[in-house]
Amino acid sequence: MHSRRLAARRLREAAAEAAFLRPHPEQRSNGDETTYPNRIANYSKGLPHDKLGEVEPGPYRAMVRALNSTQPEHFEEIPLAGPRKLTSPQAGLAFDLEGPDAQSLAIRPAPRFASAENAAEMVELYWMALLRDVRFTDYEKDSLASEAAKELSGLTDFFGAKDADGKVTPKTLFRGTSPGDGVGPYISQFLLRDFQYGTLRVTNRQQTVQPKVDYLTDYDAWLGAQNGAELAGTDKIDTETRRYIRNGRDLAHYVHFDQLYEAYLNACLYLLQNLKAPVDPGNPYVASETQDGFATFGGPHILSLVTEVATRALKAVWFQKWVVHRRLRPEVFGGRIHNEKTKKADYPIHPQVLDSEALARVFKGTKHYLLPQAFPEGSPTHPAYGAGHATVAGACVTILKAWFDESHPVPDPKVPNQDGTKLENYTGKDKDRLTVGGELNKIAANIAIGRNMGGVHWLTDYTESIRLGERVALGILEEQKETYNEDFWFTVQTFDGNTVTI
């Protein structure tokens, strides 16, 4: 037993040394906080604001002071304007005993406030709001979706999904950018298929909300939200009829209330019990004639591992949110655009959003230039960049891609019927090309971009954050590899399409 005790200590010391030797990249913001002393480009929701929705200097300085000092008592001294509290600003200061330290990872600086890229992302968000009630299966025949694709194709520095010719089309509209995201139906099969949870049969039919109900579309409600007011209303539930996810509003409602690892735990259950997907060829029990995996490399192992990474991913992204970037939410940028267009203020906003067809259509419908929100409260009370949902998606999906054979087909793809009450066969030409890896990439994109469809996140909040979560998961797998007696390896296709072996 003494030798085991020594071996356990050596293992922990080796893991600590490996973590210590990982490079700690420089943490760089986009510099907007310095460029604009009135903090028009930074997060400030919940603090006191003036009539333009610009934050009062003192409370903002108090928030930054607390984040820089890391003293818990300083966080209690941040002045708030209303009842809504700041969400977990100390989370990124926590340490973890497994995987990369929360502060050892970085994402690129966010697009700058005045940039063409930021404007292009906002144009996409206006189109998402306009198309919330259009079924994903109707995009290729819907005139409004065609207009959205055409305008996005013409924007400089728009880096969303495009076809082989570099164009946004109704088929690529609002899709993810990783391998498999553009194949088959918009919604991943793992968000549609019923699955077994032990002896329970669980349906993926969801509660939905009424169409054409948006929030924070008038200036007083918008300003109240910046000052931490309570909800601008309550979710208007459609009916008691549960439906499969049909459109952007359904997807936004799902990600409004989901538990952060929920979709990936459900996907894991479907892969294990319904699809009976083969595991990665590097699983040590694939070729064993005498053993099955269980406590290690079996069902209980993956079901706990896919959820284990979520809290570590959150700490990593919460450091980026609060300490490094403090990027404003799209909701706030919509207020800046409104003040610019109504000549209440003079802001350096790129003309490709100010002159966009999407913005003109939103104004025609609401008489304001604000970004219509799908949630009564608008955005959460923490900064935009990166995104918690997207980082957790990247981490959990990376674990699933490591565990299962990504090349295994997902047969007989389905889509919701007209009213979402049943599933019917998908008949597209690419119906035989769906794979486990592609549908896992797609579910990560669906969940992350679903938050964009709600109006609370940006395109780069998705693209950068899934890769942040991926690095968290790969680091955890690397450290855990040394703890097992079995001889094994994992192979993962990354969100960029590269192959990594652990």
Please, which pLDDT band fits residue 232 given cuts at 50, 70 and 90?
low
Q: pLDDT tier at 231 (50, 70, 90 boundaries)?
A: confident
389 catalytically annotated: yes
Q: How many domains does the chain have?
A: 1
**What is the percentage of the chain residues whose pLDDT exceeds 70?**
99
CB atoms within 10 A of CB 126: 27
Range of lowest pLDDT (232-246, 250-264, 400-414): 232-246
Measured at the alpha carbon of residue 309, what is the angle toward residues 449 and 468, in degrees to the nearest 5? 50
d(CA 101, CA 93): 10
Confidence at 230, pLDDT banded by 50, 70, 90: confident
The residues, ordered by sequence, that sit 6+ positions from 245 with a Cβ below 8 Å of its Cβ are 187, 191, 192, 204, 206, 251, 254, 416, 420
Q: Where are the beta strands (DSSP E) in 326-468?
A: 414-416, 423-425
Chain-centre distance for alpha carbon 277: 26
Q: What is the CB neighbour count within 10 angstroms for residue 139?
A: 23
Give residue-wise pLDDT tens across range 271-316: 999 999 999 999 999 999 999 999 999 999 999 999 999 999 999 9
On the question of pLDDT at 392 being above 90, the answer is yes
User: How far from chain centre, in Å, is Cα 441?
Assistant: 12
With residue 196 as reference, give the H or E element that holds it.
Answer: strand 195-197
Enter the tokens of residue 93: 């200061």
Q: Which residues pair with 55 in a beta bridge?
A: 49
User: Three-state SS string across 432-497, please?
Assistant: CCCEHHHHHHHHHHHHHHHHHHCCCCCHHHHHHHHHHHHHHHHHHHHHHHCCCCCCCCCEEECCCC
Radius of gyration of the chain (CA): 23
Q: Which helix (H) or strand (E) holds 202?
A: strand 200-202
pLDDT at 377: 95
The answer to whether residue 88 scores a pLDDT higher than 80 is yes
Quick one: pLDDT at residue 23?
Answer: 87
The position carrying tokens 């969940």 is 447
- Asked if residue 33 has pLDDT above 80, the reply is yes
The domain in which residue 62 lies consists of 2-501
- Active-site hit among 350, 368, 382, 457: 382
pLDDT > 90: what percent of the chain? 96
Q: Considering the chain, what is the average pLDDT of its residues?
A: 96
CA 2 to chain centre: 47
- CA-to-CA dists, residue 254 to 173, 204, 389, 451, angstroms: 20, 11, 12, 9
Give the other-Cβ count within 10 Å of 58's Cβ: 11
Token pair listed for 46 = 């919940």
Report the candidate in 484, 481, 483, 482 with the shortest Cα–Cα distance to residue 492: 481
Long-range contacts (CB closer than 8 Å, 24 or more residues apart) made by 427-434: 428/184, 428/185, 430/183, 430/184, 431/184, 433/183, 433/184, 434/180, 434/183, 434/184, 434/189, 434/409, 434/410
Helix axes 143-153, 357-366, angle to 10 degrees: 140
Nearest by Cα to 369 from 350, 356, 380, 382: 356
- What's the pLDDT tens digit per position in 52-81? 999 999 999 999 999 999 999 999 999 999
Does position 341 have pLDDT exceeding 70, yes or no? yes
Give me the CATH number covering residue 468: 1.10.606.10
Dihedral sign for Cα 24, 30, 34, 39, please: negative
Q: Check whether 368 has a pLDDT greater than 90.
A: yes
Residues with Cβ within 8 Å of 426's Cβ and at least 6 positions away in sequence, in order, are 184, 185, 413, 414, 415
pLDDT, mean of residues 120-137:
98
- Selected catalytic residue, list 301, 389, 408, 457: 389
